[in-house]
């Protein structure tokens, strides 16, 4: 009996060991699986795992880094979860890249990105627009107006021009301090920010542009939020305020300028660069004759809906898109091209033309920035009245304090927010 009992004890111990080992293997397998899932699905607003920088031709090419096409639906699901989890556009999309004729994000790979936002006015010292270069304004535009992108317009004008007064050349420190305050505020809100060299004649003062963008790229070039706009609106070759068509700044002149400024930025940053085009950035197809040799460029179009009917520009824009370059509307207004100057053009807001432009930009996935956060007696100023009424810097959502154009932009941006891709919408 004692022998039998001893034999059974050995058997029981052996079976127990087998069961323990088997249970351990099962537990270990499950643990490895959970860890694998966690690694695969991690995608936070801080960027999550490493995402390969998209190539310039990645949109719509059907390529996949996975050897097994069966993983593609999983990638789509992971992207959807990333988009839902992000609490800001930059957290969702990351650094912007030109990819074919679209913009894409470094965190969302080949998903096209469309951004909508607002532009501050001129930064010039002593100008009415300068007082809006502060954290309070930027926060209101992001939080209440739902702007995804803020354009910070640093005023530049040659000595003797009307734009020289209070500009970068007249008061560098004042303009730089205001610009930095607005840029820092936009980055703090994790919105995109366009650092705009707001000039009509930048090609005649390359030295100042190099100085400005060298400093800005050095200090802000590592931020995913930042976009550089190197030339607002080229106008006249000789720097005059107005000229006939034959005297306007040519694409060849703009390109010579750009080829000197862009390398200065590239010493510090690979971020997206916007390049203005001839005739107040309206001849957006001009660069097709001799494109800039850089992989992260978008060409600029500006329009004012009352003056510039979409049908007059559609062919030009389509030519650029068909040539596989992105277009970026870094400034638009709903008024006449003069910005709604009183008395005759103050009420020049054109809603039907503005709606047509927005429908087209939505269709083509073209990002846009509205002009401008200001209380000047101009129709395009969001808080502009004639005669002027100084805005109280508090009533940001009070539509009775907005111009007709401002109210239109306010409503349009808030409506777009409902469908924004980073908020889980379709775009």
Residues serving a catalytic function are 233, 331
Could you count the other beta carbons within 10 Å of the beta carbon of residue 427?
Answer: 15
- Alpha helix (H) residue ranges in 132-277: 135-143, 172-188, 206-220, 251-266
CB 129 within 8 A of CB 123: yes
Whether 342 contacts 316, CB under 8 Å: no
Neighbouring C-alpha atoms within 13 Å toward the C-beta of 265 = 26
Return the H-helix or E-strand segment holding 198: strand 192-198
User: How far, in Å, CA of 327 to CA of 329, rounded?
Assistant: 7
* Distance from C-alpha of 10 to C-alpha of 12, rounded to nearest angstrom: 5
Strands 116-122 and 368-373, sheet pairing: parallel
**Going by DSSP bridges, is the β-strand pair 297-304/112-113 parallel, antiparallel, or unpaired?**
unpaired
Whether residue 198 has a cis bond before it, omega within 30° of 0: no
> Beta strands 96-99 and 102-105: pairing type?
antiparallel
DSSP state of 284: T
CB atoms within 10 A of CB 161: 17
Strand partners, 389: none
CA distance 372 to 375: 9
């Amino acid at each position: 009996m004692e022998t039998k009992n001893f034999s059974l004890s050995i058997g029981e111990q052996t079976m127990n060991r087998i069961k323990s080992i088997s249970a351990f293997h099962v537990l270990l397998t499950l643990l490895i699986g959970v860890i694998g899932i966690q690694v695969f699905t991690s995608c936070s607003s801080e960027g999550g795992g490493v995402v390969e920088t998209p190539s310039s031709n990645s949109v719509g090419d059907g390529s996949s880094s996975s050897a097994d096409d069966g993983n593609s639906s999983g990638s789509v699901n992971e992207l959807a979860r990333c988009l839902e989890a992000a609490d800001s556009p930059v957290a969702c999309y990351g650094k912007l890249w030109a990819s074919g004729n679209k913009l894409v994000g470094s965190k969302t790979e080949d998903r096209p990105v469309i951004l909508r936002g607002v532009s501050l006015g001129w930064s010039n010292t002593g100008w009415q627009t300068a007082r809006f270069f502060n954290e309070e304004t930027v926060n209101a535009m992001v939080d209440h107006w739902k702007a995804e992108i803020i354009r910070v317009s640093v005023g530049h004008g040659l000595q003797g021009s009307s734009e020289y007064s209070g500009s970068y050349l007249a008061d560098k420190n004042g303009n730089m301090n205001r610009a930095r305050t607005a840029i820092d505020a936009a980055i703090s809100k994790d919105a995109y920010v366009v650092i705009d060299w707001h000039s009509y004649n930048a090609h005649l003062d390359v030295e100042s542009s190099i100085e400005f963008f060298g400093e800005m790229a050095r200090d802000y070039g590592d931020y995913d939020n930042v976009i550089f706009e190197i030339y607002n609106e080229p106008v006249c070759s000789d720097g005059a305020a107005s000229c006939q068509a034959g005297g306007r700044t040519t694409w060849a002149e703009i390109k010579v300028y750009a080829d000197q400024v862009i390398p200065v930025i590239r010493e510090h940053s690979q971020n997206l660069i916007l390049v203005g085009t001839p005739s107040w950035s309206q001849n957006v197809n001009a660069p097709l004759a001799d494109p800039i040799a850089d992989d992260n460029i978008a060409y600029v179009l500006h329009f004012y809906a009352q003056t510039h009917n979409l049908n007059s520009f559609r062919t030009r824009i389509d030519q650029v898109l068909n040539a596989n370059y992105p277009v970026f509307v870094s400034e638009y207004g709903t008024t006449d091209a003069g910005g709604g100057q009183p008395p005759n053009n103050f009420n020049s807001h054109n809603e039907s033309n503005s709606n047509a432009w927005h429908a087209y930009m939505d269709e083509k996935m073209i990002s846009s920035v509205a002009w401008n956060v200001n209380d000047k007696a101009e129709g395009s100023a969001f808080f502009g009245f004639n005669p002027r009424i100084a805005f109280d810097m508090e009533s940001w959502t009070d539509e009775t304090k907005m111009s007709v154009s401002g109210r239109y932009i306010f409503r349009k941006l808030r409506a777009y927010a409902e469908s924004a891709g980073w908020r889980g919408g379709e775009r």
